[in-house]
Chain A
Amino acid sequence: MSEPKIQLTDVAKTFGTRTILDGVNLSVEPGESMAIIGQSGSGKSVTLKCILGLVRPDRGSIRVDGEEVVGAHGRDMERIRAKFGLLFQGSALFDSLPVWRNVTFGLTRGRNREPARMRKIAEENLERVGLDSRILNLRPSELSGGMQKRVALARAIAPRPEIIFFDEPTTGLDPIRADVINDLIVSLVNDLGVTALTITHDMASARKIAHRVAMLYQGRIIWRGPRDRLYDSGNPYVDQFVLGRAEGPIT
């Protein structure tokens, strides 16, 4: 078996007195699309940030292509980060820069080089997320929340990363626009061989984009399985979550 693209072993993180992650074990294979589900506040976003080195776990190991992320810094960390694109849950667009500079920030890394080519690249990437070039010069604050999310998505994919994390990509979008994003994720994985890790509350989206689904509960992965098993997981926690019932083991 090939080496996992991403492997988390016993990752734990406590903020103050609140233990958010308590021994997460997870591995994602190259070219795989995995979805993570779980309640709000269960630590899904924190998990992604640990993998990217934005949050340092208290214990455990995180390997990307076999290389340890925890404790890496400087050039090593830069090299590892170059493999990733991340769509932030809250978009996190740079509000002092116009849309096209946002989208190409990963390429220019903040510098003002080749503006004509960069605008072209921004236009192409915006098109992939279903936005047109009329918004190129607007500021993020002039866009609706759904448009901001798609600009952020364009920004994450513009540098053509090998691994893309999507933190709630379809939250806040109407069902049609959400499906455009689903198709985009599927095509990134199928056509470009991207490894994807998607956090979602949208079960239709999870079933469409993911090969496998994992559920995070009380700081651990309590279930993982192929997407077809999502609705007959045999796990009462997963059942309650995917069916959206107020009654059940999760309180």
Chain B
Amino acid sequence: MMAVRVGGALFAFFVGIGRVAIGLLATIGRVTLFALNTIRRALTPPYYPGKLFEQIAHIGWFSLPVVCLTAIFTGAALAQQTFTAGSRFNASSTVPGIVVMGIVRELGPVLVGLMVAGRVASAMAAELGTMRVSEQLDAMTTLRTDPFRYLIGPRLFASIIALPVLVLIANCLGILGGYLIAVYKLGFNATSYLTISRNFLEADDIGMALVKAGVFGFFIALMGCYYGFRADGGAAGVGDATRTAVVSAFVLILLSNLLITVTAFG
């Protein structure tokens, strides 16, 4: 009797796991199809270069303030922490070294990715979701304009273009933040700090940061557009789509960041 009940519960447990796994696989399949569909259609005419520039401005320019702020303060805090932890050793080279590597390889891309995901994936999901539930996407289709080319393609490519630029800027400002703390608070020599920083700055690291940024940009726009595009159920549905888009973008950014880091240094 007891054994049957335990067996039943165990069975239900595995059925539950199976269901979640299948749901996840199905979602991955649908998202992949959505992405391929977007890319295929966006690369065939008609093209909307105006929409692309508009989105680059939206994503890039208007994200600048928050990205700059985050980068400077994080770089500064990192320098202070490294100094505190590493002062017993060779502080004059560990501080600039760790600031440069930490910002360029990890913190710059990840922080920019998360900041922009919060701003942009949510805005895209809300905008496209509203267009879906108010039938604007259907209206566009009946007016023979493909939402994949007109709305989604430009968002996806603009995000892939804008993120690397933002990450470059963030990396510079992060290093600047570390420099300011090191020189004006921790008493480092300005010239030697810069020289050491430059020695630690490697083209490969910058390349990896840009690859990460492009991948994050892709995921941010993909999640925003995917969940917005399939929103249903009125205002509540748009709310759900927005939340899911941001959370999924966060998870994908963190996962892909780890994957790229491990692949590059593992």
* Residues in A lying within 8 Å of B, measured CB to CB: 49, 52, 54, 78, 81-82, 84-86, 88, 90, 92-96, 105-106, 109-112, 155, 159
In angstroms, how far is the closest chain A Cβ from the Cβ of B23?
17
| CB within 8 Å for A54 and B141 given contacts A88-B135, A90-B134 | yes
In angstroms, how far is the closest chain A Cβ from the Cβ of B145?
5
A97 and B65 alpha carbons, distance in the complex (Å): 27
Residues of A contacting B150 with CB < 8 Å? 110
Task: Report yes or no: B50 in contact with A81, Cβ–Cβ below 8 A.
Answer: no
Task: Report yes or no: A81 in contact with B134, Cβ–Cβ below 8 A.
Answer: no
A96 and B143 alpha carbons, distance in the complex (Å): 16
A94 and B136 alpha carbons, distance in the complex (Å): 6
Task: Report yes or no: B136 in contact with A93, Cβ–Cβ below 8 A.
Answer: yes
Which residue in A88, A111, A112 is a CB contact (below 8 Å) of B139? Answer: A88
A95 and B150 alpha carbons, distance in the complex (Å): 15
Task: Report yes or no: B48 in contact with A92, Cβ–Cβ below 8 A.
Answer: no
CB-nearest residue of chain A to B147 = A110
Task: Report yes or no: A92 in contact with B143, Cβ–Cβ below 8 A.
Answer: no
Which residue in A90, A95, A106, A111 is a CB contact (below 8 Å) of B143? Answer: A106
Task: Report yes or no: B48 in contact with A111, Cβ–Cβ below 8 A.
Answer: yes
Known: A86-B139, A90-B134, A105-B143. 13 other contacts (CB 8 A): A52-B141, A81-B141, A81-B142, A81-B144, A86-B142, A88-B139, A94-B139, A105-B140, A106-B143, A110-B51, A110-B150, A111-B46, A112-B50
Task: Report yes or no: A54 in contact with B46, Cβ–Cβ below 8 A.
Answer: no
Query: Is B138 part of the contact surface with A, judged by Cβ < 8 Å?
Result: yes
Residues of A contacting B134 with CB < 8 Å? 90, 92, 95
Residues of B contacting A155 with CB < 8 Å? 139, 143
A52 and B135 alpha carbons, distance in the complex (Å): 14
CB-nearest residue of chain B to A97 = B136
A-B pairs with beta carbons under 8 A, tally: 56
| CB within 8 Å for A78 and B144 given contacts A110-B48, A111-B48, A112-B50 | yes
Task: Report yes or no: A54 in contact with B142, Cβ–Cβ below 8 A.
Answer: yes
Task: Report yes or no: B145 in contact with A92, Cβ–Cβ below 8 A.
Answer: no
Q: Which 6 A-B pairs have the closest CB atoms?
A: A92-B139, A92-B135, A106-B143, A110-B145, A109-B145, A86-B142
In angstroms, how far is the closest chain A Cβ from the Cβ of B22?
19
In angstroms, how far is the closest chain A Cβ from the Cβ of B126?
12
Residues of B contacting A90 with CB < 8 Å? 134-135
Residues of B contacting A93 with CB < 8 Å? 136, 139
Give B98-132 interface residues, CB cut-off 8 Å to A. Answer: 127, 130-131
Task: Report yes or no: B138 in contact with A109, Cβ–Cβ below 8 A.
Answer: no
CB pairs A–B below 8 angstroms (16 shown): A52-B142, A81-B142, A81-B144, A88-B139, A92-B134, A95-B136, A109-B46, A109-B143, A109-B144, A110-B48, A110-B51, A110-B150, A111-B46, A111-B48, A111-B50, A112-B50
Q: Mask for B147-165, Cβ within 8 A of A = 1, else 0? A: 0001000000000000000
Residues of A contacting B130 with CB < 8 Å? 95
| CB within 8 Å for A49 and B138 given contacts A111-B46, A112-B50 | yes
In angstroms, how far is the closest chain A Cβ from the Cβ of B46?
7
Task: Report yes or no: B142 in contact with A84, Cβ–Cβ below 8 A.
Answer: yes
A94 and B145 alpha carbons, distance in the complex (Å): 12
In angstroms, how far is the closest chain B Cβ from the Cβ of A197?
14
A49 and B144 alpha carbons, distance in the complex (Å): 14
A84 and B138 alpha carbons, distance in the complex (Å): 13
The listed residue with most B CB atoms (<10 A of its CB), out of A54, A109, A155, is A109
Residues of A contacting B51 with CB < 8 Å? 110
